[in-house]
Amino acid sequence: MITLQGLTKRYGDVSAVDGLSLTIPAGRVTGFLGPNGAGKSTTMRMITGLDRPSAGAALVHGRPYAELRHPLREIGALLDAKALHPGRSARAHLKALARSNGIPVHRVDEVLDVVGLTSVAGRRAGAFSLGMGQRLGIAGALLGDPAIVMFDEPVNGLDPDGVRWIRGLMQQLAAEGRTVFVSSHLMSEMQLTADRLVVIGKGRLIAETTVQELIERSSLNAVRARGPETAALQRLQARLTEQRVPVRWEGTHELHITGLAVEAVADLAYEMDVRLHEVRSVEASLEQAYMELTADTVEYGAPAVQATRTTYGE
């Protein structure tokens, strides 16, 4: 279990992490989300003792990382796939980690097999692709068979098969009762992988929730009512507006209605003799719900991309 108690990190007048308090429990995949600059990587670095908190504490099984006698047996982390000696082979890199933490050397070949690098174990790690480097970093995180694993953007550089593999691995580790804490910007993967979410913005906690609960909060959840007669849909819209039910148009033949069940919309349309070709629930994606939640905390937002056309010779 990871416990954060008022965790704070300041760089001059800037607070990268600001009073973060939460518990990351065992037996779950916890997704760690937030815009660029939100403080996710800084938080993970403080958990693993790479950065010193300005205030508060980050505890691993109730103790600061620096007090762990054999830290790789307690918590395994992948924060930077390139944090290794490029001249060492994959096996030599893992052997050095094992010896520094009193881990039996035979464990090296076990984790190389788990991550699919047995055939290239003797190759220099500096020549690895980004995806292979990610797999080697994951092997290092698993080396001490720790009860806690922490990954920062683990799918970077992985092909579709590798993405599916790491998703299954994280879920398996959680099913074994381990604490799995993973930072990612890929909402589609978090929706498939995570049991619960921690969302931060500008260094502060915004939400601690499940994937489904976050999606259910979204104002984009609606009932889609589509029909062939615009005039009839206008009558339905007017009735809903009278009842103070939020409704918006999508094109000229479709309404999106918020706050009513499908059955209620269908019954009202039948009562008003409004012919519908389709009436169904439309649920926001995790990405949509996340973007809505963090809209006010994005520090490095860019304007919407607009189509451009360059004409030469005019």
* Token digits of residue 137: 């970093």
Q: Are 47 and 60 in contact (CB under 8 A)?
A: yes
Instruction: State pTM to two decimals.
Output: 0.83
Other Cβ atoms within 10 Å of 288 Cβ, number: 16
Residue 311 pLDDT = 47
Q: Is pLDDT above 50 for 292? A: yes
Name which of 109-113, 120-124, 298-302 the model is least confident about.
Answer: 298-302
User: Beta strands of the chain (E only): which ranges?
Assistant: 2-11, 14-24, 28-33, 55-60, 75-78, 148-152, 179-183, 196-201, 204-210, 222-226, 247-249, 254-257, 278-282
Pairing of strands 254-257, 278-282: unpaired
Q: Which one is predicted more confidently, 234 or 283?
A: 234
Residue 29 pLDDT = 96
Domains of the chain, earliest start first: 2-216 (3.40.50.300), 222-282 (3.30.70)
Residue 312 pLDDT = 46
Q: Are 10 and 66 in contact (CB under 8 A)?
A: no
First to last CA, the chain: 66
Residue 314 pLDDT = 42
Residue 301 pLDDT = 59
Please enumerate in sequence order all residues whose Cβ is within 8 A of that of 76, keeping only pairs 6 or more positions apart, or say none: 140, 141, 142, 143, 144, 146, 148, 149, 150
Task: List phi, psi (to 5°) of 84.
Answer: -155, 165
Q: Is pLDDT above 80 for 308? A: no
Q: Is pLDDT above 80 for 299? A: no
Look over the chain and give the mean of its residue pLDDT values, rounded to a whole number: 90
